[in-house]
Amino acid sequence: MTRRKLIQSAAAGAVSLAGPLLPKALAMQSGGGRLKQAVSLWTYQKWFDLDGLCKEAVRIGLKGIDLVTPEQYATVKKYGLVPSMTTGTAPNTIPIGLNRLENHDGVLESVKRDITLAAAAGAPNVIVFSGNRKGMPDGEGMRNCLTGLNKIKGYAEEKGVTITLELLNSKVNHKDYMADHSAWGVELMKQVASPRVKLLYDIYHMQIMEGDLIRNIREAYPFTGHYHTGGNPGRNEIDDTQEVNWHAVAKAIADLGYQGFIAHEFTPAQTPPIKGLERAFEICTV
């Protein structure tokens, strides 16, 4: 073997040995690639307070903390992170949403407060929900949601904050929830017709309800303002322990030119739990 061949062989061997470390190194260097990644606060509160999670997020390369209250904005921003989604406050909750006219005054008052505080802090998104069916036909619920969103969309447009209505599964986690299919959400967004009212496309929930993720994500993309992740089955780490090819899904979203946040919302099952977040960051670096 010539000296040149020997050097080439040694270099190839070094790359091979370094293989398992390469994705993490590249992810750290690229800052997450084309997607801005975040983590949902509630999923790690068992192990970290907000300051601790922010420190880990910065170390990993995440850009935001999701589902925080306005009172938590300052802590998130202290670390150079974005409060990427404001959590809902009562009565703006999953079961009590905009699909009932009698809920509108209370829910919209809460949402307006969230928009005001988000705009002042530079937080991009606030959350709303359809609410549960309780026997109501989906068409009636959509009309009522449209009425409610039409009341508040002008204020969101004025303040430059996006209202996102979350798609959730009604099969496993949120029985009877109305906005449980992307087609329902897309039709509602078409009727609202506002650049500041979008869907929160929770990929975990939509995998349970309808699958065919990449096709559905592409079709819903013009009406989507935010994404959540979570492994299925179990809502745990988004790795090879579950059924979604997350790297392919992340690439499909990035290829659409998406500029918002994709927030990890899985509950860690592995030890130590922060390893799952590190791995999720690597997987979604595209």
pLDDT digits (tens, 9 = 90+) for 53-103: 999 999 999 999 999 999 999 999 999 999 999 999 999 999 999 999 999
Report residue 30's pLDDT band, with 50, 70 and 90 as the boundaries: low
Report the pLDDT value the prediction gives residue 27, as an integer from 0 to 100.
54
Report the pLDDT value the prediction gives residue 183, as an integer from 0 to 100.
98
Domain assignment of residue 176, yes or no: yes
Average pLDDT in the 244-273 region?
Answer: 97
Domain assignment of residue 182, yes or no: yes
Report the pLDDT value the prediction gives residue 38, as an integer from 0 to 100.
98
Q: Which two tokens stand for residue 60?
A: 């990993």
Give the tens place of pLDDT for each residue, 31-42.
Answer: 679 999 999 999
Q: Identify whether the C-beta of residue 285 lies closer than 8 Å to the C-beta of residue 238.
A: no
State the CATH number of the domain containing residue 44. Answer: 3.20.20.150
Q: Which one-letter DSSP state was computed for residue 177?
A: B
Report the pLDDT value the prediction gives residue 205, as an integer from 0 to 100.
98
Average pLDDT in the 130-138 region?
Answer: 98
Report the pLDDT value the prediction gives residue 9, as an integer from 0 to 100.
42
Report the pLDDT value the prediction gives residue 247, as an integer from 0 to 100.
97
pLDDT cut 90: percent of the chain above it: 88
Domain assignment of residue 133, yes or no: yes
Report residue 193's pLDDT band, with 50, 70 and 90 as the boundaries: very high
Domain assignment of residue 160, yes or no: yes
Q: Is the pLDDT of residue 16 over 50?
A: no
Average pLDDT in the 269-286 region?
Answer: 97
Report the pLDDT value the prediction gives residue 25, as an integer from 0 to 100.
52
Residue 201 phi, psi dihedral angles, 5° rounding:
-85, 100
Domain assignment of residue 28, yes or no: no
Average pLDDT in the 208-225 region?
Answer: 98
Q: What is the mean pLDDT of the chain?
A: 91
Report the pLDDT value the prediction gives residue 201, as an integer from 0 to 100.
98
Q: How many CB atoms sit inside 10 A of residue 90's CB?
A: 9
Report the pLDDT value the prediction gives residue 14, as an integer from 0 to 100.
35
Average pLDDT in the 185-207 region?
Answer: 98
Domain assignment of residue 215, yes or no: yes
Cα–Cα distance, 163 to 140 (Å, whole number): 21
Q: Is the pLDDT of residue 29 over 90?
A: no
Structural domain for 187, as ranges: 36-283
How many independent structural domains does the chain possess? 1
Q: Is the pLDDT of residue 21 over 50?
A: no
Query: What are the start-end ranges of the H helices in the chain?
Result: 3-18, 22-30, 50-60, 73-78, 104-121, 138-159, 182-192, 203-209, 213-220, 246-255, 274-283
Report the pLDDT value the prediction gives residue 31, as an integer from 0 to 100.
67
Report the pLDDT value the prediction gives residue 184, as an integer from 0 to 100.
98
Q: Is the pLDDT of residue 225 over 50?
A: yes
Domain assignment of residue 25, yes or no: no
Q: Is the pLDDT of residue 2 over 50?
A: no
